[in-house]
């Protein structure tokens, strides 16, 4: 009877509006990376509070994966983001036409419906600190709720960190 309880959790995760694309250097030995830190002059493009929320969530996820923060890290993490409006997909078509004998004509207008949604794209770069070379990258994009509460923002940053790190290190 209790085996069905995981189904709602799976549905919530799978219905998430976050999309993540990954890329990495296939020649990289990911087992050599044990410690990390963030770029000191990192400009995330997020508010100061959202940056703190994201870094705290990322630290938590990395810790559960066995990584630890260090002043002399194996790799550095750089995070950048940008905000954009997603184009509207819905429109209402209005047409007018006429014709007679061997002549015809028509006019059609597409009217957009609804507001475009705010989206945020967050880029995560993992850079080998010894070689100063990018070895792993994730690009996360999703809806941004402009008037979210602090609790909703914290939950969203945790969701981003979990989803982005779900494919790190990559399986070969």
Distant-in-sequence, close-in-space partners of 76: CB < 8 Å, separation ≥ 6: 36, 37, 38, 39, 126, 127, 129
Q: Nearest 10 degrees: CA dihedral of 26, 28, 33, 38? A: -70
| Calpha distance 158→50 (Å, rounded) | 11
Q: Is this structure's pTM higher than 0.85?
A: no
pLDDT digit string (tens) for 94-152?
A: 555 565 666 655 555 655 555 556 789 999 999 999 999 999 999 999 987 778 999 99
Look-up: residue for tokens 């507001």? 115
Q: Residue 33: is its pLDDT beyond 60?
A: yes
The answer to whether the CB of 76 falls within 8 A of the CB of 33 is no
pLDDT digit string (tens) for 66-96?
A: 999 999 999 999 999 998 776 555 555 555 5
Domains of the chain: 18-77+121-172 (3.30.160.670)
Question: 133-143 and 19-24: which strand pairing?
Answer: antiparallel
């Amino acid at each position: 009877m209790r085996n069905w309880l995981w189904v709602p959790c799976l549905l919530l995760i799978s219905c998430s509006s976050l999309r993540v694309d990954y890329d990495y250097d296939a020649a990289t030995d990911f087992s050599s990376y044990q410690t990390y830190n963030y770029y000191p002059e990192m400009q995330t493009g997020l508010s100061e509070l959202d940056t703190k929320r994201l870094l705290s969530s990322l630290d938590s996820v990395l810790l559960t994966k066995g990584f630890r923060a260090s002043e002399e890290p194996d790799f550095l993490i750089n995070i950048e983001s940008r905000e954009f409006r997603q184009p509207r997909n819905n429109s209402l078509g209005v047409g007018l036409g006429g014709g007679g004998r061997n002549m015809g004509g028509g006019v059609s207008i597409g009217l957009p419906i609804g507001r475009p949604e705010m989206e945020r794209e967050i880029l995560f770069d993992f850079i080998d600190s010894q070689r100063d070379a990018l070895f792993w990258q994730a690009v996360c994009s999703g809806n941004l709720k402009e008037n979210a509460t602090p609790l909703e923002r914290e939950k969203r940053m945790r969701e981003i960190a979990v989803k982005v790190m779900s494919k790190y290190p990559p399986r070969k």
